[in-house]
Structure 1
Amino acid sequence: MDNNCLFCRIVAGEIPATVVHETDTTLAFRDIDPKAAVHVLVIPKAHHADVVALAQDDPAGSAALLAACAAVAEGEGLRADGFRVLFNTGGYAGQEVFHVHAHVLGGEPLGPMLAIR
């Protein structure tokens, strides 16, 4: 655990979150500033700075994270109409918390993936 990491502190129970799915290795909770009707963050409980670090350090953890994303999408009723799974990696991508996390977004039309430049 990184004591300075917001998501590590959520995993430790130090900061409350609205949990929607949990396994031995993953935790999924509602985003406090949702960008869609459904916006859930899915994280590994172990600290990895970003998706590249997770893939390199723990390939099985990567698979578990994606399985948790699928379970969240199913649990939130998103499969029929579609949903998006998004990883922001690094400053240019807008990563704000440097603990790998997937955004599961849906529940309404999401529009284009990127803004037109």
Structure 2
Amino acid sequence: MKNQSIFSKIIKENDLSKIIYQDKDVTAFNDINPIAPVHIIIVSNELIRSTNEINEKNKHILGHMMYIATVLAKKKKISENGYRLIINCNSHAGQEIFHLHLHLLGGKKLGKMLF
């Protein structure tokens, strides 16, 4: 059995004071160390360690995560001015928690990305 991530614990606790959205595939909650006024984490309910573990069986999760991000962006009223979606894959990209998750950032003008 794979180690449980902090995200798995949040999902399992089903703490409605933390969770802002949940369905059978994903759970969303506010980041505890936000870098923008709106900083929501959307995680897969199934433990998928990174995008490298996406396969034929679970590929729908990525599209669903993106869809829920747009729903939450509209709910938080950041969709018109814009927002950023980030998925990091492994340590060189900055992934710190090895449980597939998407960052929804907005609520202010965001700085340029490094390319």
Give unpaired runs (5+ residues) of structure 1.
none
The 2-side partners of 1:7 and 1:111 are apart by: 27
Contact 1:28–1:72 (Cα < 8 Å) also in 2? no
One-letter identity of the residue aligned with 2:68? A
The 1-side partners of 2:57 and 2:18 are apart by: 28
> Against the structure 1 CA distance between its residues 15 and 96, is the aligned structure 2 distance closer, same or farther, given a 3 Å change threshold?
farther
> 1:44 is matched with which residue?
44
1:51 deviates by: 2.0
Give unpaired runs (5+ residues) of structure 2.
none
One-letter identity of the residue aligned with 2:35? K
Count of aligned pairs: 115
> Against the structure 1 CA distance between its residues 14 and 64, is the aligned structure 2 distance closer, same or farther, given a 3 Å change threshold?
closer
One-letter identity of the residue aligned with 1:63? G
Question: Structure 1 length normalisation: TM-score?
Answer: 0.86
Task: Name whichever of 62-71 and 88-97 sits farther off.
Answer: 62-71
> Against the structure 1 CA distance between its residues 4 and 105, is the aligned structure 2 distance closer, same or farther, given a 3 Å change threshold?
same
> Against the structure 1 CA distance between its residues 97 and 72, is the aligned structure 2 distance closer, same or farther, given a 3 Å change threshold?
same
User: Cα RMSD (Å) of the superposition?
Assistant: 2.2
> 1:77 is matched with which residue?
77
- Large movers: runs of 4+ above 4 Å: 14-17
